[in-house]
C-alpha cells in the first residue's frame, strides 16, 4: 500500500501538491501539522498537511517529504475551513492565505536567511551538538541559508535545529533583524533549601548577626515568600528590603540564596490588580439586553452608540459571561485604534486574561500568542488584535467583538489575501457557532443595510455616558473668511479665537488635517513646473524639517533645490498644506504653548505612536495636530476643542464611498471633544458649508446620511445593493497594459453578458512604483451565484496567463471593498 499527502504550500499555487509518505507517517499525520518538503529544483518549504490518501498524482512523480515538524496540529480544522472560504471568496489561493495567516517564524523555507543573534549572550554548554555546529558556523558568516545549514549538519532537513536555535535565542531570521529578538529572562531568588525550615532560619540569622544588612534581606525574603507564595524577583526583593545588589550577591556567594532565571512572556503590561466592576447605566443596560435578544435569535448585532456612549463597557459586560464559560473571545479593532489606552482599560477588567496581537510586535511575540491561543491558555482567553488576529488557532470561540466596524482599514489591500476582516470574522463566527457584536458610532452603510433587512440585530445608545452633551459643531466658511480678510495663513480668525479661549480654560485641542508633510505640491510660478515622483504619477510632497521632497506612495525622496529644476528661477511656490505646516503656523501664533504632531512621520518605530499619545494624555502638549490617526477611538479627558483645518479634500475624493467616509471621519474626530465633563466644541473649516454631508455631520444626523447614501448606491449600482469586483492590471509597459486590459475586459463581457462591466480605465493615480495601472469594474447582476462568476473569472485568468506576451502583466482582484 502506498500513502500520499496533500499539502498546502505557502505560494500562489492553484492546487494542493502531493508527496509520498510512509505508513508510519500516514498514521501520525493530521491536517494542520507542518511538514518540510522539497519543491522545484532545490527549494525547501514549510507546508501544511491537508489530507492523507492513497492516490498517486497523475501529472508528476510524487517526491518524499523531508520531515514532519509538529507533534500536534498547529492549525485546526475550523481554521482550514475558514482559510479555504477566504481563498474562494477573495479569489486567491489557499497558499497565499497560509502565508498571510501564519507568523513567518512558522514558515521557514530554503530562502529564509538565518543570522546570529548578536544581542543575546549564549552559553555554549546549553547547545546540543548540531546546534553548536550551526552556532559555530554563524561566527564566521554574516548569514546562512537553510540549505547551507543542512550541509553543515549533514542532514536533509535543518528546520528542527533552526526551530530549536530560534527558541534558544541563538539565531534570528533576516526579516526580524530590526526587532532584535531577546528572550526576556527575569532574575529570581529563593532561600537555599537547607534553610527553608523555621528552625534553620534562627540558626541562619545567628550566623549573620555580624552582617545586619544581610540578615535584613533574609528576613525580607521570608516575609515576601510567606505573603505572595510565588517566585520572588530580585527586583522586588531589593525594593522590599532596600538592599543593594551587592548584598544579595554576597548571600548568593555564601550559598544562602539561590538565584535562578525564568522566561517571562515578552508582552507584559503593567496592570493594577484591583479589578474593576462594570455597572451599566440605564441606556447601556437596554442596549445590552437588545444585544442578548439578537444573540438569542442567532443574529449578529450592530451596536450603534454615539461617541463616548460607553460601548466598551457594554462589550466588557458581554465578555464577562463568555469567559466565565471558559470560552475564548476575539476583540477586533482597526490597527490604529488599538491604543494603549484601550488595552490598559481592558486589562483593568480582565487582568492577565488579555493578550494583544499586533503587527508591530516581533515575530517571537506573535509566535507566543499563537501558541498560547492554540493551547487554550487562560492568559490568551481574550485576544485583542487588528485584522490578522482573525487567523489565530481558536478552538472555543464564544464571542467576536468588531469595534469601529465601519473602518476601511479592516480591508487588506496588499498582498493577497485581500480580505475584509469584518466580513471574514462573520464567517469565522458561523464556523464556531459563536455570537458577534459589531460596534460603531457611525456604522457602515453595509452593516446598517443588514440591520434594515433583518440580517443583523440592532442596539442603540444615543447619549453619551454621564449625559455629557454631544459636541457643538460649527462650520466656518473659508470663502467668506478670505473675502473679509479674516484668514491668518490657514487659520480663520474664528478658529484662532476658539483655540485661544480653550487654552485660557486650560483645555487641550486636537487639529485634524488629512495630509502629512508641509505642502503636497511645489510649483514654479515662472514656468509652472512641479516636481513629480519618477516612479509614480503624483507630485512630491515637501517636508520642511528634512528639506526634502517625498513621494507618499513609494518613498522616493530628493533634496529641494532653491531654484526650479526646469527653468532655474527662484520662484518656487508651495501649494496646499499638511500637518507639518499647520504645526509650524500655530507655533508662530502660540509661542508659549506646546504643539505636538501625530502622523506617519512622527510615529515610526514600535512605540512611536504610544509615546505621543501618552505625552498628550499627560498634557505635555496643549495642541495635537494630526492626520487620520487622531480620529480613532482615542479617549482623552481634557480635550475641549477639535478643529478640522479643511473638510473639502475629504469630500472631493474620487470614490463612491467618499461621502460616507467623510461623515464617519468628521463625526469620529468631532467625538474626541468634551468626552467626560463639559460639552465640547468642534469647528470645521470648509469652502462648501452648504454641502449635505457637512450639514449631516453638524446635525449628527446619521439617519439622513444613511438614506442619502443608500439611495445613491442603489441608483448607481454599488454595494450593498450590488456586488462588485475590481480587477486591476499592472505592468511597466504602457502599451502592453492597454492591450492586455482590453483583452481581459472583452473576455469578461463575453462571459458575463448580463452584468455591467466598466472600463478598463486608469485610476486617478495611474502609475505607482513604475507600474501602470488599469481597472475593470464588474457589477454583478442580481440572481446569479457570485461564486460561479468568480470561477468564470478565474478561467479567464488561466487563458490570459497562457498568452505569452502578457506574462509580465499582474492581475489583482478586490472583492466587495475596492
Ligand atoms: P465609546 O467607545 O462609545 O466611544 P467609551 O467606552 O470610550 O465610549 O466610554 C466613554 C467614557 O465613559 C470612558 O471614559 C468610560 O470609562 C466612561 N464610561 C462609559 N460607560 C461607563 C460605565 N458604565 N461606568 C463607568 N464609566 C463609564
Ligand atoms: Zn520654473
Ligand atoms: Zn513614488
Sequence spans of domains, the chain: 3-106, 113-177, 193-255, 311-453, 472-518+577-712, 723-815
CA atoms within a 13 Å half-sphere pointing along the CA-CB vector of 371: 11
User: Cell numbers of 618, please?
Assistant: 499627560
Lowest-pLDDT range of 56-65, 399-408, 669-678, 797-806: 669-678
Instruction: Identify the residue with better confidence: 40 or 305.
Output: 305
| pLDDT at 273 > cutoff 50 | no
Query: Do 472-518+577-712 and 723-815 come out as alike in CATH topology?
Result: no
Output the pLDDT for position 183.
40
Q: Which residues of 54-65 are buried (b: 16+ CB within 10 A; e: fewer)?
A: eeeeeeeeeeeb
Output the pLDDT for position 591.
92
Q: What is the CATH number of domain 723-815?
A: 3.30.70.600
Q: Name the residue with the closest Cα to ligand 1, atom 10.
A: 308
CA atoms within a 13 Å half-sphere pointing along the CA-CB vector of 797: 17
Ligand 1 atom closest to 307 (CA): 4
DSSP per residue, 1-61: --EEEEEE-SS--SS-EEEEE-HHHHHH--TT-EEEEEETTTEEEEEEEEEEES---SSSP
CA 771 to centroid of ligand 3, rounded, Å: 10
Which tens digit of pLDDT belongs to each residue from 364-405? 778 889 999 999 999 999 999 999 999 999 999 999 999 999
* Topology of domain 472-518+577-712, CATH: Rossmann fold (3.40.50)
Which tens digit of pLDDT belongs to each residue from 296-348? 999 999 999 998 899 999 999 999 999 999 999 999 998 877 777 788 888 88
| Mean pLDDT, the chain, whole residue set | 89
Asked if 45 and 11 count as a contact pair (C-beta separation under 8 A), the reply is yes
User: Cell numbers of 54, please?
Assistant: 492513497
Q: Name the residue with the closest Cα to ligand 1, atom 16.
A: 310
Asked if 298 and 433 count as a contact pair (C-beta separation under 8 A), the reply is no
Looking at all shown ligands, the one closest to residue 440's CA atom is: 1
Substitution site in 465, 637, 639 for ligand 1 pocket (most atoms within 8 Å of beta carbon): 465
Give the distance, in angstroms, between the CA of residue 427 and the centroid of all CA atoms in the same chain. Answer: 20
d(CA 368, CA 360): 14
Asked if 70 and 794 count as a contact pair (C-beta separation under 8 A), the reply is no
Output the pLDDT for position 239.
84
User: Cell numbers of 700, please?
Assistant: 449628527
Mean predicted confidence (pLDDT) in 452-476: 94
Output the pLDDT for position 262.
67
d(CA 721, CA 711): 10
Lowest-pLDDT range of 267-271, 417-421, 706-710: 267-271
Output the pLDDT for position 638.
87
Asked if 173 and 145 count as a contact pair (C-beta separation under 8 A), the reply is no
d(CA 290, CA 294): 6
d(CA 544, CA 577): 11
Ligand 1 atom closest to 635 (CA): 7
Of 516, 468, 503, the closest CA to residue 639 belongs to 503
d(CA 251, CA 238): 13
Substitution site in 312, 315, 638 for ligand 1 pocket (most atoms within 8 Å of beta carbon): 312
For 777, the enclosing helix (H) or strand (E) is strand 771-779
DSSP structure class, residue 781: P
Mean predicted confidence (pLDDT) in 445-455: 97
CA 577 to centroid of ligand 2, rounded, Å: 21
Query: How sure is the predictor about 182, in pLDDT bands with cuts at 50, 70 and 90?
Result: very low
Using DSSP's 3-state secondary structure scheme, residue 168 falls into: coil
Which tens digit of pLDDT belongs to each residue from 413-448? 989 999 999 999 999 999 999 999 999 999 999 999
pTM: predicted TM-score of the whole model, two decimal places: 0.82
DSSP per residue, 326-341: T-EEEEE--GGG--HH
Percent of the chain with pLDDT over 90: 61
Looking at all shown ligands, the one closest to residue 550's CA atom is: 3
Output the pLDDT for position 369.
92
Output the pLDDT for position 276.
65
User: Cell numbers of 147, please?
Assistant: 540549505
Which tens digit of pLDDT belongs to each residue from 155-176? 767 778 888 888 888 887 765 4
Substitution site in 308, 344, 401 for ligand 1 pocket (most atoms within 8 Å of beta carbon): 308
Lining ligand 1 with CB less than 6 A are 278-281, 284, 305, 307-313, 465, 635, 675-676
Which tens digit of pLDDT belongs to each residue from 565-581? 899 999 999 999 999 99
d(CA 11, CA 47): 10
A 10 A CB-CB count for 248 gives 21
Looking at all shown ligands, the one closest to residue 315's CA atom is: 1
Ligand 1 atom closest to 305 (CA): 3
| pLDDT at 59 > cutoff 50 | yes
Of 65, 152, 83, 145, the closest CA to residue 108 belongs to 145
Output the pLDDT for position 371.
92
The DSSP bridge partners found for residue 114 are 144, 173
Q: Name the residue with the closest Cα to ligand 1, atom 22.
A: 280
Give the distance, in angstroms, between the CA of residue 561 and the centroid of all CA atoms in the same chain. Answer: 38
CA 130 to centroid of ligand 2, rounded, Å: 66
Ion ligand 3, residues whose Cβ is below 5 A away: 533, 535-536, 551, 553-554, 556
Lowest-pLDDT range of 43-47, 633-637, 669-673, 762-766: 633-637
Mean predicted confidence (pLDDT) in 71-98: 96
Segment 755-760 long-range contacts (CB within 8 Å, at least 24 positions apart): 755/779, 755/780, 755/781, 755/784, 755/789, 756/717, 756/781, 760/729
Percent of the chain with pLDDT over 70: 95
User: Cell numbers of 740, please?
Assistant: 492586455
Of 595, 625, 674, the closest CA to residue 514 belongs to 625
Q: Name the residue with the closest Cα to ligand 1, atom 27.
A: 310
Ligand 1 atom closest to 633 (CA): 4
CA 523 to centroid of ligand 2, rounded, Å: 8
Q: What is the CATH number of domain 311-453?
A: 3.40.50.300
The domain 3-106 belongs to what CATH superfamily?
Answer: PriA, 3(prime) DNA-binding domain (3.40.1440.60)
Which tens digit of pLDDT belongs to each residue from 582-623? 999 999 999 999 999 999 888 887 677 778 888 888 788 899
Query: How sure is the predictor about 179, in pLDDT bands with cuts at 50, 70 and 90?
Result: very low
Substitution site in 310, 404, 406 for ligand 1 pocket (most atoms within 8 Å of beta carbon): 310
Query: How sure is the predictor about 263, in pLDDT bands with cuts at 50, 70 and 90?
Result: low
Of 99, 98, 95, 100, the closest CA to residue 13 belongs to 95
Mean predicted confidence (pLDDT) in 55-82: 92
Output the pLDDT for position 275.
53
For 304, the enclosing helix (H) or strand (E) is strand 301-305
| pLDDT at 140 > cutoff 60 | yes
- What's the burial of 557, exposed, middle or buried (CB within 10 Å: 0-12/13-18/19+)? middle
Amino acid at each position: 500500500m502506498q500513502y500520499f499527502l496533500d499539502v498546502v504550500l505557502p505560494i500562489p499555487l492553484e492546487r494542493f501538491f502531493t508527496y509520498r509518505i510512509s505508513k508510519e507517517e500516514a498514521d501520525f499525520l493530521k491536517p494542520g501539522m507542518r511538514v518540510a518538503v522539497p519543491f522545484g529544483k532545490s527549494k525547501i518549504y514549510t507546508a501544511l498537511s491537508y489530507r492523507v490518501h492513497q492516490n498517486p498524482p497523475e501529472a508528476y512523480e510524487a517526491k518524499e517529504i523531508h520531515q514532519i515538524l509538529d507533534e500536534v496540529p498547529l492549525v485546526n480544522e475550523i481554521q482550514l475551513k475558514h482559510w479555504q472560504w477566504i481563498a474562494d471568496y477573495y479569489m486567491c489561493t489557499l497558499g497565499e492565505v497560509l502565508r498571510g495567516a501564519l507568523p513567518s517564524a512558522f514558515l521557514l523555507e530554503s530562502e529564509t536567511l538565518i543570522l546570529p543573534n548578536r544581542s543575546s549572550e549564549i552559553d555554549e554548554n546549553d547547545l546540543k551538538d548540531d546546534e553548536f555546529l550551526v552556532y559555530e558556523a554563524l561566527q564566521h558568516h554574516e548569514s546562512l541559508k537553510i540549505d547551507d545549514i543542512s550541509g553543515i549538519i549533514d542532514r536533509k532537513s535543518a528546520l528542527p535545529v533552526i526551530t530549536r536555535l530560534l527558541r534558544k535565542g541563538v539565531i534570528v531570521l533576516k526579516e526580524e533583524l530590526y526587532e532584535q529578538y531577546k528572550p526576556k529572562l527575569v532574575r529570581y531568588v529563593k532561600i537555599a533549601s537547607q534553610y527553608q525550615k523555621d528552625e534553620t532560619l534562627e540558626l541562619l540569622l545567628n550566623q549573620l548577626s555580624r552582617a545586619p544588612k544581610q540578615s535584613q534581606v533574609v528576613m525580607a525574603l521570608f516575609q515576601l515568600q510567606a505573603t505572595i507564595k510565588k517566585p520572588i524577583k530580585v527586583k522586588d526583593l531589593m525594593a522590599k528590603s532596600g538592599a543593594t545588589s551587592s548584598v544579595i550577591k554576597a548571600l548568593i556567594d555564601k550559598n544562602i540564596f539561590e538565584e535562578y532565571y525564568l522566561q517571562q512572556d515578552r508582552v507584559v503590561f503593567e496592570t493594577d490588580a484591583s479589578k474593576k466592576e462594570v455597572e451599566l447605566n440605564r441606556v447601556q443596560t437596554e442596549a445590552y439586553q437588545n444585544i442578548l435578544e439578537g444573540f438569542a435569535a442567532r443574529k449578529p448585532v450592530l451596536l450603534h452608540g454615539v461617541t463616548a456612549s460607553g460601548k466598551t463597557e457594554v462589550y466588557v459586560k458581554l465578555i464577562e459571561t463568555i469567559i466565565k464559560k471558559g470560552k475564548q473571545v476575539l476583540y477586533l479593532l482597526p490597527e490604529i485604534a488599538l491604543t494603549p489606552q484601550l488595552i490598559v482599560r481592558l486589562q483593568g477588567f480582565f487582568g492577565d486574561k488579555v493578550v494583544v496581537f499586533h503587527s508591530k510586535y516581533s515575530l517571537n511575540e506573535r509566535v507566543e500568542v499563537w501558541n498560547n491561543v492554540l493551547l487554550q491558555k487562560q492568559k490568551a482567553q481574550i485576544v485583542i488584535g487588528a485584522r490578522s488576529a482573525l487567523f489565530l488557532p481558536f478552538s472555543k470561540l464564544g464571542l467576536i467583538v468588531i469595534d469601529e466596524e465601519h473602518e476601511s482599514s479592516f480591508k487588506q489591500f496588499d498582498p493577497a489575501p485581500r480580505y475584509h476582516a469584518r466580513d471574514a470574522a462573520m464567517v469565522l463566527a458561523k464556523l464556531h457557532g459563536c455570537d458577534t457584536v459589531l460596534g460603531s458610532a457611525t456604522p457602515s452603510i453595509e452593516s446598517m443595510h443588514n440591520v434594515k433587512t433583518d440580517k443583523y440585530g440592532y442596539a442603540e445608545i444615543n447619549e453619551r455616558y454621564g449625559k455629557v452633551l454631544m459636541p457643538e459643531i460649527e462650520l466656518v466658511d473659508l470663502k467668506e473668511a478670505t473675502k473679509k480678510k479674516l484668514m491668518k495663513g490657514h487659520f480663520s480668525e474664528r478658529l484662532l479665537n476658539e483655540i485661544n479661549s480653550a487654552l485660557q480654560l486650560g483645555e487641550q485641542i486636537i487639529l485634524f488635517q488629512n495630509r502629512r508633510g508641509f505642502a503636497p505640491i511645489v510649483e514654479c510660478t515662472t514656468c509652472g513646473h512641479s516636481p513629480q515622483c519618477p516612479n509614480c504619477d503624483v507630485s512630491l510632497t515637501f517636508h520642511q524639517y528634512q528639506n526634502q521632497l517625498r513621494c507618499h506612495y513609494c518613498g522616493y525622496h530628493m533634496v529641494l533645490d532653491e531654484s526650479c529644476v526646469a527653468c532655474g528661477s527662484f520662484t518656487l511656490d508651495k501649494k496646499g498644506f499638511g500637518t507639518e505646516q499647520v504645526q509650524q503656523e500655530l507655533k508662530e501664533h502660540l509661542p508659549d504653548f506646546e504643539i505636538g504632531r501625530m502622523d506617519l512621520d512622527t510615529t515610526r518605530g514600535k512605540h512611536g505612536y504610544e509615546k505621543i499619545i501618552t505625552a498628550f494624555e499627560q498634557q505635555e502638549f496643549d495642541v495635537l495636530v494630526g492626520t487620520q490617526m487622531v480620529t480613532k477611538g482615542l479617549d482623552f479627558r481634557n480635550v475641549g476643542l477639535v478643529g478640522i483645518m479643511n473638510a473639502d479634500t475629504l469630500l472631493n475624493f474620487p470614490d463612491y464611498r467618499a461621502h460616507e467616509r467623510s461623515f464617519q471621519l468628521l463625526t469620529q474626530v468631532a467625538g474626541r471633544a468634551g468626552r467626560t465633563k463639559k460639552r465640547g466644541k468642534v469647528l470645521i473649516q470648509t469652502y462648501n458649508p452648504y454641502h449635505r454631508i457637512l450639514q449631516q455631520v453638524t446635525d449628527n444626523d446619521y439617519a439622513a446620511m444613511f438614506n442619502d447614501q443608500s439611495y445613491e448606491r442603489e441608483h448607481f449600482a454599488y454595494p450593498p445593493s450590488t456586488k462588485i469586483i475590481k480587477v486591476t492590471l499592472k505592468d511597466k509597459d504602457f502599451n502592453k497594459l492597454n492591450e492586455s486590459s482590453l483583452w481581459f475586459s472583452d473576455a469578461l463581457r463575453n462571459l458575463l453578458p448580463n452584468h455591467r462591466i466598466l472600463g478598463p480605465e486608469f485610476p486617478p493615480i495611474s502609475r505607482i512604483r513604475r507600474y501602470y495601472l488599469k481597472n475593470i469594474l464588474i457589477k454583478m447582476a442580481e440572481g446569479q451565484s457570485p461564486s460561479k462568476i468568480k470561477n468564470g473569472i478565474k478561467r479567464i485568468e488561466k487563458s490570459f496567463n497562457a498568452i505569452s506576451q502578457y506574462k509580465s502583466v499582474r492581475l489583482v482582484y478586490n472583492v466587495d471593498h475596492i
